[in-house]
Structure 1
Amino acid sequence: MSLLRMVGRPMLASMFVAGGIHSMRRPADVAPAAEPIVRPVADRVAALPDDTEQLVRLNGAVHVVGGVLLGLGRCPRLAALALAAALVPTTLAAHRYWEAEDPSDRAQQRIHFLKNLSMMGGLLIAADDTGSAPSLLWRGRHTARGLRHDAHLVHRSVRATARPAATAGGIRAKLGN
């Protein structure tokens, strides 16, 4: 692992771990801001709990687990994708700057909104980072290409040896052996 990955991933993950722990410990602090986003989503997705505080805790748990995995470099691509997905409702619930009345509050919320947007960009880059190893898609294509090449060689080999064998078998049959 490169030094940049070793240092950068925990730095990116730290905000999610800290925020996730806060959301899990004190969901009542976040629930009122999350209500406008939680209610429409919970009504459409039956698998989600109806209680806003439970959904805040669940989102916090995703942030903590994803942040720890990303920070430790364990399943970093999957962790980054999970964090990016969980960051969408967090940003839309907590930083609705377009609804703020006070100009200074609006400016502050816009800054936080853009900060979260920047973090999402970093997470998407991390989700695409293969760590200098080929991606699974490339490995699959490379393996398939190799298998096709091997099958072609076997086919050519069988054809090359089948004709002389058939000829020898025909001669042997004519001779009566």
Structure 2
Amino acid sequence: MLRRVLAAAGRPLLASSFVSSGLQTMRHPEILAPVAAPVALAIAERVPGLPRDAVRLVRINGAVHVGGGVLLAAGRLPRLAALILAASLVPTTVAGHPFWTEGDPGKRLQQKIHFFKNLSIFGGLLVAAAVHEERPR
């Protein structure tokens, strides 16, 4: 019982940042496209069917975040949704927070904080994917 209550409360909280940022990204992908381009285009070269346009790739990633976040929050296919969000978070984090390339100590610290925040969210998604909820009888 407690596990169901915690999962029902935790899933929407975990999903909220994906839905919020995903909607923003879908509306204005051009803001993130220059930063995401090196990683996004490298992935597109290796995955057949993906567009070779950074703006479209960023918009697709935003849609994945919204869709996966909504599914996770609603408790619909939560394990699959958590895995999809976790997989999409890897390139998002590498492209968006490469603290190891930053020369300015203040900016490096900020990027490092965001990188490890995303790493923590990644861990939470893995836990959410591993949890098996029993169906009520």
TM-score (norm 1): 0.73
Deviation at 1:102, TM superposition (A): 0.8
Higher relative contact order (CA 8 A, sep 6+): 2
In 2, Cα distance between equivalents of 1:43 and 1:75 = 30
In 2: Cα distance, 1:77 partner to 1:34 partner: 27
How many Å separate the matches in 1 of 2:56 and 2:30?
10
Q: Which residue of 2 aligns with 1:38?
A: 40
Which ranges of structure 2 fall in alignment gaps of 5 or more residues? none
| Cα offset, 1:42, TM superposition | 1.5
Name the structure 2 match of 1:103.
Answer: 105
TM-superposed CA distance for 1:58, in Å, is 0.5
Deviations 1:81-139 (A, max 9, x none): 00001101100110000011110000000000000000000000000111135xxxxxx
CA-atom RMSD in angstroms? 1.1
1:67 is aligned, of 58, 66, 69, to 69
Write out the 4+ residue segments of structure 1 that deviate beyond 6 Å after TM superposition.
none
1:1-177 matches, cutoff 5 A = 2-132=4-134
Structure 1's unaligned 5+ residue stretches are 134-177
Larger Rg: 1
Q: Which amino acid aligns with 1:33?
A: V
1:55-77 Cα deviation digits (max 9, x unpaired): 00100000000000000100000
What TM-score, normalized to structure 2? 0.93
Separation (CA, whole Å) in 2 of partners of 1:109 and 1:132:
39
Give the number of aligned pairs.
133
